[in-house]
Structure 1
Amino acid sequence: MEHQQPHVVVHPLPVQGHIKPLLCLAQLLSEAGLYVSFVITHHTHKRLENLSALTAQFPNLHFEPFSDGLPDDHPRCLNFDFFIDIKTKTKPFFKDLLLSLDTKSEKGLSPPVTCVINDGYLSYPLEVAEELRIPLFTFIAHSACFLLTYYSIPKLIEEGHVPFSDNNMNLEINGIAGLEGILRRKNLPPACMMKEVTSPLFKQCLDESLAMNRASGLIINTFDDLEVQCLPHVANKFCKVYSIGPLHAFLNSKIGNQSQLIASHASLWKAEQSCIAWLDSQTLKSVVYVSFGTLAKRSVSQLLEFSHGLVNSGHPFLWVIHPDVVLDEERENAMPEELQKGVKENGCIVDWAPQEEVLAHKAVGGFVTHCGWNSTLESIMARIPLICWPYTSDQNINADLVSKVLRIGVELEGCDRQTIESTIRALMDGRKEEFQNSIDKIAKCGLDGIGHGGSSNQNLEFLVEDIKKIKSLE
């Protein structure tokens, strides 16, 4: 084995929306000739399918499962308690794994670890890397705009915007460079909803978020033309910033016909391919695709209103309703009979869909989405205008970016059947040409960015070279 080959350890937050982009990055780094260890918890590893086929496609990519230190019956919900648990309980196991990789290198089984690429939502890998004196790059799976909101919190506290003085979550906040026109209270990180900004919990959340600028650089799944107003301000917070998105499209451009196969390997949910056959039977650009991601929760009454709004719009629809989309306390009533009315003639409901393949289908003309960053990027690159119904976290500011800055879609202003129907009609009929022209332009910028000489392509090359320089200095 060539021991001068750089060895990169990639470690995602164990949720769908973070695993997929980091796995795309891992494959790109592997394709560039680096040895990559994709480090995931046992709990996550057993849910990913066909990883052997993925390593066959990318022989430099290796999966290293390890314990997260939590019991099997732990819910692993993304709340404050979960992040406190993994900080204390997962950290020693992650350290042991890094040390075991060094042991493997001493035996000639792999190159020594060069650096770690860590999900920015996890703080313990940064602490372990600093302790072991291993360079670390931080990866952000959400938008640059949302990242900038974190770094704006100290100023917002100083100016009295946080904590909030009332419950008007739509109140616009001005004076934050890079976020002009798109910063509302509800667009801030969840920690800002706390009433006491002097509490230890708030301080811990803020300190751990801002600690990521101690990394050797920031890798972000975006492209320069998409977030031109905020990326320069993000760059001021880090020694280096590598904007190398959209990662899914970048990877697809490298592996061609294998793209749909590889995309399925990043999914914690098994997609129902029958929906593709249903799409084949629909006319060009007629179908509304509806999916609220893996984490968003909706009430049964909201789903019923959506059902009526979709049917009344007159457009056929493909709707993803997996069991976890329903509020926990209403789970037993997840699929009432009324929800099925109208679907047999107008639409198709599945537990999960192969989203990239769906968005690329010629029958799809619009996407109703929670506006997670992966879904937003996938919709842009497929040139499908969006209806945004954000749920939490970065989704709110993504919706404002889509509707107010890029003008490639609209935000749903209410969850009643009349509003849903009229919003779908506006996207699919009334303002169709307007949105299509806008999204075609930004999609072309994305393609240019991942093409030869493009900004994302160059930034990936810079990242690879900077990792190789670390190796040469050892």
Structure 2
Amino acid sequence: MEQVVPHVVLHPLPTALGHIKPLLCLAQLLSEAGLHITFVITHHTHKSLENLSTLSTQFPNLHFETISDGLPDDHPRSLTFDFFYDIKTKTKPHFKELLLFLNTQSPTVTCIINDGCVSYPIDVAEELKIPIFTFCPHSACYLLSYFCIPKLIEDGRLPFSDDDMNCEINGVPGLEGLLRRKGLPAFCVLKDVQHPAFQFLVKEIFSMNGYSSGLVINSFDELELQILPQLATHYRKVYTVGPLHAFMNSKNGQYHSQLITSHACLWKADHNCIAWLDSQPPRSVLYVSFGSLIKMSISQLMELWHGLVNSGHPFLWVIRPDAISSEEEQMIPQELQMGGKEKGYIVDWAPQEEVLAHHAVGGFFTHTGWNSILESIMTKIPLICWPHMSDQHINTELVTKVLRIGVELEVCDRSTIQTIVETLMGTQMEEFQESINRIAKFAEDGILQVGSSSNHNIQILVADIKKIKLN
């Protein structure tokens, strides 16, 4: 009897590029391993992504399905409590309907790999008795910070007794010296732990590991050595399979490229910046980009501008069309629109992996999103960290205090920015470079050497999925 190919359904958090991109890389890896893959995105997100159909040509086992998120067209879909509550109730029936349909096809659904930031697929999987794995697109240290919340409530440390968000939180195994109040999930600032939003989000967290068959995480063993063993106590099994973007590119003979993952981009990249980089000396350029979500005030933009110009180092700066805070109706000042005079080059969006791999780039000024950290490590580019939200605060602690591959910008003023750029690109560049070269070697070995860390773990994941079909 011919063995049926396992069918895996993957579903990212809608609208979040930082979640879609790594899960799409995982989908490609599993497809290449011979599994039948259905990648489920919402109609709203699908409109923003380019050329997904070409991936199905490159990966014949990879298929895309779209569902309604149940929200009106004019819904802002920003990552707020209301959004998570809405998709919990309104997207769930559409996801369930698709799974029921897929189970009338061949092959039927073997398992689901779900973005751990949304719980409705777990509810549906449990209802339909389909095994499900939790995917973590961010750092292990941030995920572990979620699991300490009940103990902090029990100890009387939540809600916070004052407004000092820099206060260090001690006594959390695995996060010693890393966790501050600002590094906890944002809802922890609520003054009442019985608040409906607080209770809802805590329940969402602990649904991640209840029915889950295991945790698939975009990290690698040596990157979060002290954290991963503690995280493993919360899951049946943990598969560290990152950095997924580099893993996928290496499989396609395009190591350090952006060709495959560019399909998960919400803006059209300006490739003219590569020609400008070609004209710059090696390791001289500071790349500046704060991801797909961060918004700033006009005053912050101007402080950044003056700090970058005054540093004397050439810079490539991504300023998204929607980068200005909605409270401000002002246009981007003319001097920014004109570009960086002799030293700077400004674009709406850049092909980030290609930029970071360019010989002219020597530093990365970032919001410290997890994908950006991993991309920086793989291209051996030290970091200036300017965290704003979510996992970015604890990621910054990891980067600056444990890995020692970058420095934090704590105050956004031009003199501080000038000093910190001069530090990264000049006085301490060699020190940071030595650290990041060492960590990048661990990542490269884990991906490229058979039997090593991430390479081995992806094989174990595939084997475990195939075993489900045999049961």
Counterpart of 1:12 in structure 2 is: 12
Q: How far off is 1:338 after superposition?
A: 3.5
Preserved CA contact (<8 Å) 1:217 1:239: yes
Partners of 1:74 and 1:199 in 2: how far apart?
24
The unaligned stretches of length 5 or more in structure 2 are: none
Question: After superposition, what is the alpha-carbon deviation per residue over 1:290-311, rounded to whole angstroms, capped at 9, x for unaligned?
Answer: 0000111111100100000000
Which of 214, 219, 223 is the matching residue for 1:217? 214
Question: After superposition, what is the alpha-carbon deviation per residue over 1:79-114, rounded to whole angstroms, capped at 9, x for unaligned?
Answer: 000011111110000000001111222xxxxx1100
Counterpart of 1:444 in structure 2 is: 441
Preserved CA contact (<8 Å) 1:311 1:342: no
Counterpart of 2:27 in structure 1 is: 26
Partners of 1:18 and 1:324 in 2: how far apart?
19
Preserved CA contact (<8 Å) 1:37 1:64: yes
Partners of 2:38 and 2:47 in 1: how far apart?
17
Preserved CA contact (<8 Å) 1:3 1:112: no
Which of 116, 133, 137 is the matching residue for 1:137? 133
Q: How far off is 1:340 after superposition?
A: 4.4
Counterpart of 1:181 in structure 2 is: 177
Counterpart of 1:302 in structure 2 is: 300
Amino acid at match of 2:378: M
Q: How far off is 1:341 after superposition?
A: 6.5
Which of 333, 337, 340 is the matching residue for 1:336? 333
5 Å-filtered alignment, 1:185-200, equals 185-200=181-196
Amino acid at match of 1:160: G
Partners of 1:431 and 1:357 in 2: how far apart?
25
Counterpart of 1:146 in structure 2 is: 142
> Residues 413 and 197 of structure 1: is their aligned pair in 2 closer, same or farther, counting only changes over 3 Å?
same
5 Å-filtered alignment, 1:384-399, equals 384-399=381-396
Preserved CA contact (<8 Å) 1:323 1:334: no
Partners of 1:447 and 1:454 in 2: how far apart?
10
Partners of 1:76 and 1:413 in 2: how far apart?
29
Preserved CA contact (<8 Å) 2:339 2:346: no
Counterpart of 2:456 in structure 1 is: 458
5 Å-filtered alignment, 1:317-356, equals 317-330=315-328, 332-340=329-337, 343-356=340-353
Partners of 1:294 and 1:48 in 2: how far apart?
13
Partners of 1:263 and 1:239 in 2: how far apart?
30
SS at structure 2 position matched to 1:318: strand
5 Å-filtered alignment, 1:357-376, equals 357-376=354-373
5 Å-filtered alignment, 1:119-134, equals 119-134=115-130
SS at structure 2 position matched to 1:36: strand
> Residues 431 and 135 of structure 1: is their aligned pair in 2 closer, same or farther, counting only changes over 3 Å?
same
Q: How far off is 1:344 after superposition?
A: 2.2
Q: How far off is 1:260 after superposition?
A: 2.6
Partners of 2:3 and 2:186 in 1: how far apart?
44
Is 1:242 aligned with 2:247? no
Which of 198, 204, 214 is the matching residue for 2:200? 204
5 Å-filtered alignment, 1:417-432, equals 417-432=414-429
Identical-pair percentage: 68
Counterpart of 1:230 in structure 2 is: 227
Question: After superposition, what is the alpha-carbon deviation per residue over 1:151-208, rounded to whole angstroms, capped at 9, x for unaligned?
Answer: 0001111112211111111111111100001110100011111110022221110011
SS at structure 1 position matched to 2:258: helix
Is 1:67 aligned with 2:65? no
The unaligned stretches of length 5 or more in structure 1 are: 106-110
Amino acid at match of 1:190: A
Counterpart of 1:115 in structure 2 is: 111
Question: After superposition, what is the alpha-carbon deviation per residue over 1:270-321, rounded to whole angstroms, capped at 9, x for unaligned?
Answer: 1111111111111100000000001111111001000000000000000000
Question: After superposition, what is the alpha-carbon deviation per residue over 1:110-150, rounded to whole angstroms, capped at 9, x for unaligned?
Answer: x1100000000111000000000000000011100000000
Partners of 1:248 and 1:260 in 2: how far apart?
8
Which of 433, 436, 448 is the matching residue for 2:430? 433
Partners of 2:416 and 2:2 in 1: how far apart?
61
464-473 or 253-262: which moved more? 253-262
Partners of 2:65 and 2:2 in 1: how far apart?
20
Preserved CA contact (<8 Å) 1:292 1:325: no
Preserved CA contact (<8 Å) 2:25 2:245: yes
Amino acid at match of 1:199: H
Preserved CA contact (<8 Å) 1:297 1:391: no
Partners of 1:2 and 1:139 in 2: how far apart?
30
Counterpart of 1:108 in structure 2 is: none
Counterpart of 2:397 in structure 1 is: 400
RMSD: 1.3
Q: How far off is 1:324 after superposition?
A: 2.0
Q: How far off is 1:335 after superposition?
A: 1.1
SS at structure 2 position matched to 1:27: helix
- Deviating runs (4+, > 2 A) in structure 1? 257-261, 338-342
Partners of 1:141 and 1:352 in 2: how far apart?
22
SS at structure 1 position matched to 2:135: strand
SS at structure 2 position matched to 1:349: strand
Amino acid at match of 1:9: V
Partners of 1:72 and 1:341 in 2: how far apart?
35
